Amino acid sequence: MDKTEFDLIKSYFAPLTSNYPEAYSLTNDAALISEDPDRSTVVTMDTLVEGIHFFSTDPAEDIARKSLRVNLSDLAAMGAKPKGYTLSISYNASITSEWVKAFTKSLAVDQEAFECHLLGGDTVSTPGPLTIAITCFGSVPRGKCLHRTTGQEGDDVWVSGTIGDSAVGLKLLKKEIKTDNSRAETFLIDRFRIPQPRTLLGIALLERDISQTALDVSDGLLADVNHIAEGSNLQARIISSRIPLSKSFQNVLKNTLDQGIQLAATGGDDYEILFTTKPKNKEKVIELSEELNIPITRIGALTQGKGTLLLDKNNNEIPITRSGWKHF
Q: Is 219 annotated as a binding residue?
A: yes
Q: Is 155 annotated as a binding residue?
A: no
Q: Is 325 annotated as a binding residue?
A: yes
Q: Is 2 annotated as a binding residue?
A: no
Q: Is 147 annotated as a binding residue?
A: no
Q: Is 218 annotated as a binding residue?
A: yes
Q: Is 104 annotated as a binding residue?
A: no
Q: Is 158 annotated as a binding residue?
A: no
Q: Is 156 annotated as a binding residue?
A: no
CB count in 10 Å sphere of residue 118 = 26
Q: Is 99 annotated as a binding residue?
A: no
Q: Is 327 annotated as a binding residue?
A: no
Q: Is 53 annotated as a binding residue?
A: yes
Q: Is 46 annotated as a binding residue?
A: yes
Binding-site positions for substrate? 53, 269, 325
Please give the annotated binding residues, written as ranges: 29, 44, 46, 53, 74, 121-122, 148, 216, 218-219, 269, 325
Annotated binding site for Mg(2+): 29, 44, 46, 74, 122, 216, 219
Binding residues for ATP, as ranges, are 121-122, 148, 218
